[in-house]
Amino acid sequence: MKAIRQEVALLMLSGVHKHYRHERCDTHVHALCDIHLQVEAGEMLAVCGPSGHGKTTLLNLVGLLEPASEGNIVLDGIDVTRLGERERIALRERLIGPVFQSFTLIPVMTAQENVMLPLLLRRRLPRRDWLDARAYAAELLARLGLAAHVHHYPARLDAGQCQRVAIARALMTRPRLVVADEPTSRLDGSALRMVLDLFGACQREQGTSFVISTRDQRQLHRASRTLQLNEGRIGPRPADLPRRLPELRA
């Protein structure tokens, strides 16, 4: 179906619902109810809330991994709810850098190759672009404190290092929107600071927007806004209103 472009914020959700049907007991689970939110370019939205209250589902919808049951999701002016699967995949590749909660790396590829994977999968790179991509991947890894691990396989990295490789992989394509599901859950103080600094640099230099689910207070303090999810609904506070915390930023 042909995409309809609209001049709006980078990401806009209006009246989004998501429900799943349990095949065995024939019941419906309402994972998300009536979600309205808007993310501007260069903004970091932190989604927080108790476990099992819809954070990952929301990020899956925003990351175009699954469709919404009801409502509209507009990404970069394109109503994605009307797109076919192929167009959704193309849009995801073009705009979104995902960091999955499980941060799965490909075990037979080195850290650098894993970081380059989104580019390697998409097209045949000319030699010059290939060299540039290698250099950028190495730079991202260095900025995340993994300069010494560029040629290491995931089996030789600990969980925190694997998580940082997954973060570098999400940033490799210079996406407009990074959708990250608990991207700092395995990071200690210095690694967390490096990741947050890199996120901040991407926001400033490339205008990258971030939608991040987190329970980490340090990350919440760096966010432009926070969104509290409670049993699939936004609340208890009106979190979609801008709530800037400049005084708490590092």
Partner 1 sequence: MNPAAPACLALRMVLAGRARARIAVLAVGCDVGALAFGAGRCPGWHMVALMGLALVACVVAATVSLRVQARRRELATLRALGMSKCALVLLLELEALWISGIGTLLGLLGSGAVERIAAGWQARPGDPAAFIGTASGMPLLASLCSIAGVTVLAALGPAVHAARQDLALALALLPAHQDG
Contacts with partner 1, residue ranges (CB under 8 A): 56, 60, 65-66, 89, 92-93, 98, 100-102, 104-109, 113, 116-118, 120-122, 124-125, 169
Q: Rank residues 90 and 220 by Cβ distance to partner 1 and give the closer one.
A: 90
Contact residues for 53 (Cβ-Cβ < 8 A; gap 6+): 229, 230, 231, 232
Amino acid at 115: V
Q: Rank residues 93 and 231 by Cβ distance to partner 1 and give the closer one.
A: 93
- For the bound state, the minimum distance from the C-beta of residue 9 to partner 1, rounded and expressed in Å, comes to 24
**Six token digits for residue 118:** 């989104």
- For the bound state, the minimum distance from the C-beta of residue 224 to partner 1, rounded and expressed in Å, comes to 26
How many residues are present in the chain? 250
Q: Rank residues 108 and 135 by Cβ distance to partner 1 and give the closer one.
A: 108
What is the rounded CA–CA span in Å between residue 196 and residue 144?
Answer: 10
- Phi first, then psi: give them for residue 86, nearest 5 degrees: -65, -40
Q: Is the dihedral of CA 78, 84, 90, 96 positive or negative?
A: positive
- For the bound state, the minimum distance from the C-beta of residue 143 to partner 1, rounded and expressed in Å, comes to 21
- For the bound state, the minimum distance from the C-beta of residue 89 to partner 1, rounded and expressed in Å, comes to 7
Among residues 137, 207, 138, 150, the alpha carbon closest in space to that of 178 is found at 207
- For the bound state, the minimum distance from the C-beta of residue 218 to partner 1, rounded and expressed in Å, comes to 25
Q: Rank residues 150 and 220 by Cβ distance to partner 1 and give the closer one.
A: 150
Q: Rank residues 56 and 203 by Cβ distance to partner 1 and give the closer one.
A: 56
